[in-house]
Structure 1
Amino acid sequence: MLKLAGHFHSLATGASQVPMQSLDSHLRSTIQDPSVLDYHDRLIEGAGPLFSHFLASVPYVLEELSRIGAALTRLAEANHTATGQTFSLFEVDAFDGSNGRALAGHSKGLIRSFTSSPNQANQLTFDRHANPALSQFFAQSVFKVTPELLQTPGFARFNQGFDFIYEMAAFQFYNRDRDRQISHIKQFLKPGGLVFFLEKLNHPDPEEYLRRERIKDEVFKTRYFSDEEIRWKRQQMLEQMENGQVTLQELVTALAARFRCVYLLWSSSNFCEFVASDDSQQIEMFVNLLGPVIQPTEFCFEGQRLGIVVPKQSAAGERSDA
């Protein structure tokens, strides 16, 4: 994280690697769900330089975040009808809080967001776009977030924990210790809550990893960046990022050790997105509210694994209801 701090500051201030065209999805005409379209528009309207760079770098993550946000809103609406409660999202080191702000606005305040980020420049964008009544920002690393912090007056609305947590490719910038990292954020998850993990993963076969990188760089990223910019990022940043990446199996093993249910939602180039929970009914309800994946099939390299839940061993050695 420290080695890349200068690069992140440059990206967050818009000094380098700015997408050369609008982030509006070129698949927009295929999106039939007006809720997903609304979320898409909110997401790009409030995106700062660093988050815009992220959306332009990860193939079809814009469409995926919109799909997830629309489904989370529907889940919150259904549960609110039954219980009358409101809900909360913790975004783990999530740039300028663009996704959390979009979710808070799209849900009309039914879901309120809390975003951590160690990059101070991200707060400028957050403050410019955020509704303070719905979204809050903590300009420090996720590992500076503690139960004691959430008891302070500034963040007291989250003192009971979070219904949803979203880790957006954050852990890889620290180290490979997913056991400790996952344990740290799980302490903030309410019973039955959902936690999402979007990570760039290593691959046991280096050639396969590079093949997936090529389709990302040569087919998708050239929409937004020059060849020179793509080469620069590959040389300056990706080596450090790979130092903190884990394989799909390593991530699944760490998740299955801490959650009863682990579900692979999405795959794109070397990126995968999981949802995990100790409440199988909440995962099932959420998945049933999801619309279809919005991306060309050739970017999904883990398609055969999508939808697979990972069973966990019970204390008696029997398989749980994962």
Structure 2
Amino acid sequence: MRGLDDFLAECDRAPRINELSGFFATTAAGESGMPTRKPEVDSRLLPNDNLIRDLIGLHAARQGFFDQHYHSSIPYRLEEECRMAYGVLRYARIRGAQLSLYSLGTAEGTMARTLSELSRGQIHSLSCSPNAENYKCFMAYGEPPDAEFFVGPFHRLTKAVLNSNARLGKFASGFDIILEDTTFQMYSPNRPKQIEFVAQHLKEGGIFVFLEKFRAVDDSDYQRREYQKDFGFKARYFQQEQIEAKKTAVLTTMFNNEVTLEEMSRAVGTHFKHCVMTWNSGNFCSLAASNSRENLNLYVSQMADPAIPHEYVYEAGLYRSLTDHAVP
């Protein structure tokens, strides 16, 4: 990767591990930012089968402090996490072979651990977070045999680190699926370099999933969706003063590191031939990209319909292509 030293220095200066580090530490420890009640999946929005029921149950049992905050903050993000996990499980079962998953910046790695446990070793996962508090939550349910955790920011998980660690060495050959979960927006708007750095860990034909908050073309549209999120959803879990405090402490800084969907599609298109949008909730979208049309089609086909009321969906035509050489 060209300009690696400059990129690493840029990441080291990032808000996530500097001015916002206190927010993430106290929230991950359960000392602040806790919802008034634990979020629960609205199972009516998801398929009615044993696999999804088992997944929802284990995911709920493994949640830590930060997950409770996170899933109470983004409309129907919890349902989407279960929907994504359902798709990954079904994708792994059809492929038959062992599958490796890297979930970067996803707090205590609940989804990754759930997938490893539920698949009984077919899915080996690695989660990472700069916060030792998240690792403590990860280990609160015992040490899982097929799920690992790296305590550190994503840009410090290099191939050299993977190769030098006895537990992480099995991932040195790369991952079949990588999930970036609202991580890049906490560091900088430099999506081209961020994607380039993490894509080094993706196997040929692997799938890179991005879940981020995006700037809207019209600022007033962006703000209206924020009002809907805050007053239509977050108010179910947080007091108004908590919502306002987070805006001041975190969201203004995060906004400066968000990009538009157009900017993201250009950055993704630099590295991947195929990319589709698979989910939208207000200003949040999920994209799936790969250089293998076959693998991407198979993954998308194993996902259930988006589990979210229509009034939160603003991006028309989910599964539409976002690159020139895209999946139809």
Q: CA deviation at 1:97?
A: 1.0
Q: 1:307 to 1:130 in 2, by over 3 A?
A: farther
Is this contact kept in 2: 1:23–1:44, CA < 8 A? no
In the other structure, the counterpart of 1:104 is 116
Counterpart contact for 2:214–2:283, Cα < 8 Å: yes
CA displacement at 1:30 relative to structure 2: 4.1
- Please report how far the alpha carbon of residue 54 of structure 1 lies from its aligned counterpart in structure 2 after TM superposition: 0.6
Contact kept? 2:116, 2:147, Cα under 8 Å = yes
The SS at the match of 1:148 is helix
Change (3 A) 1:130 1:199: farther
Match among 208, 211, 214 for residue 221 of structure 2: 208
Structure 2 residue 101 is the aligned partner of structure 1 residue 93: no
Out of 282, 286, 299, the residue aligned to residue 273 of structure 1 is 286
Closer/same/farther in 2, CA of residues 321 and 273 from structure 1, 3 Å limit: closer
TM-score w.r.t. length of structure 2: 0.91
> What does residue 243 of structure 1 align with?
256
Q: 1:289: Cα distance to partner? A: 1.2
- Counterpart secondary structure, 1:94: coil
Q: Does 1:29 align with 2:41?
A: no
Q: What is the distance in 2 between the residues matched to 1:7 and 1:71? A: 32
Contact 2:276 2:326 (C-alpha < 8 Å) held by counterparts: no
Q: Could you say what secondary structure the match of 1:193 adopts? A: strand
TM-score, reference length from structure 1: 0.93
CA deviation profile, 1:23-58 (whole Å, cap 9, x unmatched): 112x22343233223222222221111121111111
Give a deviation string over 1:129-172, Cα, whole Å, max 9, x none.
25431111110010001111111223111121101100000000
Which SS does the other structure have where 1:195 is aligned? strand
For residue 262 of structure 1, the aligned residue among 248, 251, 275 is: 275
Specify whether residues 222 and 171 from structure 1 end up closer, same or farther in structure 2 by C-alpha distance, changes over 3 A only: same
In structure 1, C-alpha distance between the alignment counterparts of 2:162 and 2:255, rounded to whole Å: 32
* Aligned residue in 1 for 2:237: 224
In structure 1, distance between residues paired with 2:323 and 2:234: 36
What's the CA shift for 1:108? 2.0
Contact residue 275 and residue 326 of structure 2 kept, 8 A: no
Which amino acid in 1 is paired with 2:43? Answer: R
Q: How does 1:136-147 map to 2 (within 5 A)?
A: 136-147=148-159
1:316 is matched with none
SS in 2 for 1:41: helix
> What is aligned with 1:315?
none
Which residue pairs with 1:126 in the alignment?
138
Flag the 1:198–1:30 CA change in 2: closer, same or farther, 3 A.
Answer: closer
CA distance in structure 2 between the partners assigned to 1:28 and 1:128 by the alignment? 26
Cα drift, residue 229 of structure 1: 0.8
2:70 matched to 1:57? no
**What does residue 298 of structure 1 align with?**
311
Aligned to 2:9: none
Q: What is the CA–CA distance in structure 1 between the aligned matches of 2:160 and 2:127, rounded to whole Å? A: 16
One-letter code of the match for 1:285?
L
1:266 and 1:244 map into 2 onto residues whose CA distance is: 21
Aligned twin of 1:115:
127
How far apart, CA to CA, are the structure 1 residues paired with 2:178 and 2:242?
32
Number of residue equivalences? 310
Percent of paired sites with the same residue = 31
Contact conserved, 1:40 with 1:62, CA < 8 A, in 2?
no
C-alpha distance in 1, partners of 2:276/2:71? 23
Tell me the secondary structure at the aligned position of residue 129 of structure 1: coil
Query: Partner of 1:18: helix, strand, or coil?
Result: coil
Q: Is the 8 A contact 2:321 2:327 kept in 1?
A: no
Kept after mapping to 2: 8 A contact 1:87/1:110? yes
